[in-house]
Structure 1
Amino acid sequence: MSESPDGKTPAEIGSRFLRYLPIITVAHFVIGLPALIASLALAYFAFVQADATRKMQTGGAMPFVTFGTSNVDDDGKPDISLSLTNNGVGPAILGPMEIRYQGKALASPADLFRACCDVDEAKGLSFATSPSSRIALRPGESLRFIGLPRTPANEQIWKSFNRERWKLKVRACYCSIFNDCWITEGMQGLPKPVKQCPADWSLYSEDAVTRLGGAR
């Protein structure tokens, strides 16, 4: 068996190496530990910065849609309106909307007036409607999706609607340009965040309007 210049056999050299191997391993780990910590810190700071940037972008384009109702127009004339208003800083992409009266879902403005105000008995009733979904609502913009101006012909219906409009349960879903979505319900303060707009609502749609003595 050959020996090393210092008289050690390969077995002895191997045994000594194995004896010092843990120390060598620990030494390498200690030497590399600062670099590992620095790499982890940089990765964490990059994640925090990216998350902060995303939140800033989302917050800078966040819509805030609320439901409201009024019985006068901008000129102070009697005119009942149901509207959605975007009080946020970014555009709102309006999704589905549901309107209920006395627990019953209403599919159209015609159903609404039938349920609350005996519209079937009206002659020459005229009311205004606007699309309430699949459109973008700019910051500060309001959408009046139902309007009923007061006229001599609809006096009794107007009074009924003016009273019963407070009993409507209105909820709507909307999303930001970053596909963050919320549900606003009634005249609540804060909308509820959701992953996506629900698909199981009993949808209200102005497209389902049925003509009732001149309704449009």
Structure 2
Amino acid sequence: MRHRADLMSRCCGVPAGTAEEQVRRGLVTQNEPIGVLPAREGVDVLAWRELPGNAATWAKLDGVRHRLKTEACYCSVLDGCWTSDLTATAQPHHVDQCEPISDGYTG
């Protein structure tokens, strides 16, 4: 999926809505371009806070989060590009350029 809203809609029944609605429902991270990320620094891709009134949604996400798989393509400022599943033990694979990744959601 290309956006957190897509994931939350498909896995957990959260309507896409506006950014304000997503935050009200518990979204902590935003879907903004990251830009340059310094070496050895990270970014939270998805953080959903349990709030009064969203327990069912939070429970659905908690139930699927260990089955989620990620893949990212990124390029360095030195013109090299890599793909990775973003796990701590994964070795990135060099690619010529970043291409769109297909939607592999299986429910």
TM-score, normalised on structure 2?
A: 0.71
CA–CA distance in structure 2, aligned partners of residues 147 and 125 of structure 1: 12
Aligned to 2:61: 161
- 1:172 Cα deviation (Å)? 0.7
Q: Deviations over 1:50-78 (max 9, x none)?
A: xxxxxxxxxxxxxxxxxxxxxxxxxxxxx
**Mapped contact 1:130–1:143 kept (Cα < 8 A):** no
CA–CA distance in structure 1, aligned partners of residues 12 and 34 of structure 2: 28
State how 1:37-76 maps to structure 2 within 5 Å.
none
Return 5+ residue gaps in structure 1 as ranges.
1-105, 204-216
Taking a change above 3 Å as real, the CA distance of residues 164 and 117 of structure 1, as seen in their structure-2 partners, is: same
CA–CA distance in structure 1, aligned partners of residues 63 and 46 of structure 2: 15
State how 1:66-215 maps to structure 2 within 5 Å.
106-120=1-15, 125-131=25-31, 133=33, 135-187=35-87, 188-198=89-99, 200-202=100-102
CA–CA distance in structure 2, aligned partners of residues 107 and 182 of structure 1: 18
CA–CA distance in structure 2, aligned partners of residues 173 and 152 of structure 1: 36
Instruction: Answer 1 or 2: which has greater strand percent.
Output: 1
Identity of aligned residues (%): 28
- 1:165 Cα deviation (Å)? 1.5
Taking a change above 3 Å as real, the CA distance of residues 134 and 156 of structure 1, as seen in their structure-2 partners, is: closer
CA RMSD of aligned residues (A): 2.5
Structure with higher Rg: it is: 1
- 1:152 Cα deviation (Å)? 2.1
Secondary structure at 1:146 match in 2? coil
Tell me which amino acid in the other structure corresponds to 1:115: R
Could you list the structure 1 runs, at least 4 aligned residues long, displaced by more than 6 angstroms after superposition: none
**Mapped contact 1:132–1:145 kept (Cα < 8 A):** no
Return 5+ residue gaps in structure 2 as ranges.
16-20
Secondary structure at 1:182 match in 2? strand
